[in-house]
Amino acid sequence: MTRPIAPVLRLEEAFRSGLPVVTCEIATGDGADPDEVLRRVRLVSDHVDAVNVPDNTAGIVHMAAWAAAALLAREGVDPIMHVTCRDRNRMALQSDLLGAAALGVRNILCLTGDHMVHGDHPGAKPVFDLDSLQLVSLATVLRHGRYLSGREIRPAPALFPGATENPFAPPYDFRPLRLQKKVEAGARFIQTQITFNVKRFAAFMERVRDLGLDRTVPILAGVAPVRSARSARYMRERVPGMEVPDAIVRRMEQAGSERARREDEGIRVCVEIIEQLREVRGLAGFHLLPIHWEEAVAEIASRARLTPARASLSAHVEATARDAGSADARRDDREGALLNRHREHRA
């Protein structure tokens, strides 16, 4: 079996650096072709610290998240594996988390999961033995070396569990408190729902700061490019917990039907939102959700000046090495000159 390549900098280390962190979600395969997953991740990997792989998003069947995550780990990309409670009971969840850790997948995003009535198998039987909060607790128990039954795990899986929060779903005052419960359960990082209403998000973060959560856990603001007016209207009208202001819908409508023009406008809107979110205190970085448009990530990163922590640290290490090399060379030159003068004196 091919062993995973250790990433240059793991997500946990990126957060610990204190530098802005960038993550991105890709679409997992709609078939059994690993090359399609790798094609998508190669479009984004240079611009992010870690890559999310979803678990049958919207209740629609795709390649298993653990398999896609293992493919990424084999490429030296740090994956964030989505784990939902929709399809598995607590026994299966524990087995999957142990198996993922054995394959080099440490980062997991704990989710309840979209109900299957919204997907392509509406007649499937839901499980929901646990919810997302309980799943965070389960992952925390595992990483401390115990199964839920109390039995010891040797060795314990080196998991780095995270969770999501949606500032745009009412009741709005409850959302920071819900986030607090996830942090208390052991969430080590947070990724939010896509942000289009910056004012609402800023109000959410104000309450988060009041609770001191921004100092307890790194929070990444979700952002996404809108590809068309139709997409904007669909998210506003059909996606629960998604808030797309009328102004953004109008901008996309005014961009017209020409593909290049509307896609450029969608990227421009995304970059503007990132710039506005930079003014919100308490964020650790950004989480990009290109929604089957991984090709846009490089352009967004360039225009918004998004640099992953690992790239910033690598540049710093290289600069330090160059400075050290220059210092060594200067020292060698001085020592050489002294030696020559000593030889001349002896002569």
For the chain, the structural domain boundaries read: 11-308, 309-347
pLDDT of residue 314: 76
What pLDDT score was predicted for residue 332? 56
Q: What is the pLDDT of residue 339?
A: 43
10 Å Cβ neighbour count for 167?
24
- Tokens at 307, concatenated: 């640099």
Angle at 232 between CA 228 and CA 236, to 5 degrees: 165
DSSP-assigned letters across all residues of 38-55: HHHHHHHGGG-SEEEE-S
Residue 66 carries which DSSP code? H
Contact 18, 283 (CB under 8 A): no
- Looking at residue 146, the DSSP 8-state letter turns out to be B
pLDDT at position 216 is: 98
Distance CA 229, CA 248 (A): 9
**Cβ distance 85 to 96 under 8 Å?**
no
How many whole angstroms separate alpha carbon 103 and alpha carbon 79? 11
Q: Can you tell me the distance from the alpha carbon of 298 to that of 129, in angstroms, rounded to the nearest whole number?
A: 39
pLDDT digits (tens, 9 = 90+) for 80-103: 999 999 999 999 999 999 999 999
SS3 153: coil
For residue 12, the model assigns a pLDDT of: 97
Q: Which one, of 177, 53, 146, lies nearest residue 138 by Cα?
A: 146
Task: Give the tokens for residue 82.
Answer: 């989505």
Predicted pLDDT of residue 23? 98
Host H or E run for residue 93 = helix 90-102
In this predicted model, what pLDDT tens digit does every residue of 36-70 receive, in sequence order?
999 999 999 999 999 999 999 989 999 999 999 99
pLDDT at 283: 98
Three-state SS sequence of 202-215: HHHHHHHHHCCHHH
Digit-by-digit pLDDT tens for the chain (347 residues) are 566 777 768 999 999 999 999 999 999 988 999 999 999 999 999 999 999 999 999 899 999 999 999 999 999 999 999 999 999 999 999 999 999 999 999 999 999 998 888 889 999 999 999 999 999 999 999 999 999 999 999 999 999 999 999 999 999 999 999 999 999 999 999 999 999 999 999 999 999 999 999 999 999 999 999 999 999 999 999 988 899 999 999 999 999 999 999 999 999 999 999 999 999 999 999 999 999 999 999 999 999 999 999 998 876 655 554 555 555 555 555 555 544 554 444 44
- pTM exceeds 0.85, yes or no: yes
User: In what helix (H) or strand (E) does residue 138 lie, and over which residues does it extend?
Assistant: helix 132-143
Residue in 128, 60, 144 with CA at minimum distance from that of residue 88: 128
pLDDT for the residue 189 = 98
Report d(CA 160, CA 9) in Å as an integer.
14
The CATH number of 11-308 is 3.20.20.220
